[in-house]
Structure 1
Amino acid sequence: MLIERVVKSMILRKFDHVIVSRFLLYYQKSKFFTATSDEKLNVVEMVINVLYNLDPGAVSCKSLFGLLRVTLSLNVSKCSKNKLENMIGSQLDQATLDNLLVPSPYGINYLYDVNLVLRFLKAFLRGETYQVTSIQMMKVASLIDLYIAEIAPDPSLKPSKFLALATALPDSARDSYDELYHAMDMYLEVHAGLSEAEKLKICCGLNYEKLSAEVCILLSQNKKFPSKSAARALISQQFKLKSLLHGTPSSKSFTDSPYSPNIDVRNREKKDKTSEQVLMYSGKLDPSADNEKLRAHLQGMQCRVMELEKVCRKMQRKMEKITKSKVSRHSHARSLPKLCS
């Protein structure tokens, strides 16, 4: 094609690759007004092949998705599709939710093309021409959480595809799994007929340690989730509470002080022991028991957690007051004049 020779000449003369990409996309759009289906196919494949050899980032993510939508109505070769998907994958952190909502191809029951998004993710993680940064990873994780929430109500979406999306990114990509929990909640509501085993597989996509306290409580009371997941959420919350009790700065500074009274030390030890008992109690829960009975246990544990949190706060305030009082008395005693010499 003449246009292909022109573009190659531009590249040899060291034209800016951004200008080359814009020229190609303009040519593709203008040519489509009068071209036949076969001509459109040839033009699109030529444009994709040339763009693929340009500098990464020479063409915007928005333009690549525009090109992708053009290919949906054409019988583009697998090689050209792979090149386009790899280019999009390399810029996935710049994509929007609307970009990803591509309708499924003919013959697929899913509302949106989930397999396409999974291929984007593979290309992104592969990072052939760049090094994926933590910021990019977190942006993509937020985008995928939005996408999962959007497709969760699709009654045709299989559990395996939902889980594949939920687990496609490494755990480090998410600081919080709250959004993923809400998407799972929606999915389980729509797919109420799933077995307990299928629900458990889906819940494997959650990291309970990265769920907020509010979501842990919601999960523990959510009958759509399997009993084992509810128990794990509560146990995770117990460990967080135990860490809080052992690692509170104010309590540590007080117990290190020479003015710490024995009674408060005993109270703290007693409270730590109580926390450990709660953990042991939660570990003894039988997930195979009747669901209602288990949920009653979990609610009892939740109340215990709230009580311990209140006790912890009261003790912190009490210890701070005692510390201030002791320090004040000590400094006052030092300042008294000697009455006898």
Structure 2
Amino acid sequence: MDPRSEVLLRQAELFAGPLLLAGLPADDLLGHLPNAHGWSWHAGDQVALASRFSGRSHFGVTPPNVEFDAAVLFLPKSRELTDYLLSALAAQLDGRELFLVGEKRAGIERAAKQLSAFGRTGKLDSARHCQLWQARVEQAPPTPDLEALAQRYSLELGDGPLTIVSLPGVFSHGRLDSGSALLLEHLDNLPSGHLLDFGCGAGVLGAVLKRRYPDSQVTLLDVDAFAAASSRLTLAANDLRAEVISGDGIAAAPTELSAILSNPPFHQGVHTHYQATENLLRQATEHLQRNGQLRLVANSFLKYPPLIEQHLGPCQTLAEAKGFRIYQANKG
């Protein structure tokens, strides 16, 4: 059981009625709270929850259309995303309780100040290195317009400007990160066919690929619903058409790809995880056609070449700058 869930269950009498659990972990919490419904924006967690608690968890960037008398937000990493989620929940809880739970090292005490915008707050519990806070919503705010909270910026590229639309919580929110910038400089001579932007974020790479290779099919994949929504907004802002899918890792990707391109993530919340990228390197060959190519950018300190060569083929370093390297390998 996730320690945040354990803290909630220490106060289980507060959560007996209709309850919405926003950003809940994929554990057994719904089994302990029979009147609760989940809202997840992590595709992997949603699959796990749906398989165990059919019909009791919603996936997306807006709250589900279900009745609830109270809500609990599991603190996300992003402060901007926390603002949006608290507002979206408080908008439906006039005069009722809104709870916030999170790890101390994730900044729960800071986030409690964000909670205080909706009513007087109080700390209910502190255990398992987590805290639980409560506020009664004194005056419900208007339902937030998520798209209005997006940050937009322009990339000046060789074939003209490209508009990027980034929603709260999405990787490198409102700016182009150094790794992606390096990868954008090395997108020449890709094989024709079906291209995949793995871990698409705000859709920077996928949009560039579709504009540079208009005759290729392009798919953008991310585990996060807010990233997928951002990518759709980025494509629309540039009048581009491509498929955007939500899924947990490379296993969710199409097969017979001509190339997989990625600035793969290695952070999840306050913890560091390399599993998604390592799975990509191990399983890329299952999704690439013969002679298909993997091209990715990664921090130089990450020892990916041996894994690439073990599972795909000889690994070539195309470029190195500002602590990043671009690796390329072809399926034999």
| Shorter-chain TM-score tier | under 0.3
TM-score (normalised: structure 2): 0.24
Structure with the largest fraction of helix = 1
Structure with greater strand percent: 2
Point out which structure has higher relative CO (alpha carbons under 8 A, 6+ apart): 2
Question: Which structure has the larger Rg over C-alpha atoms?
Answer: 1
TM-score scaled by length of structure 1: 0.24
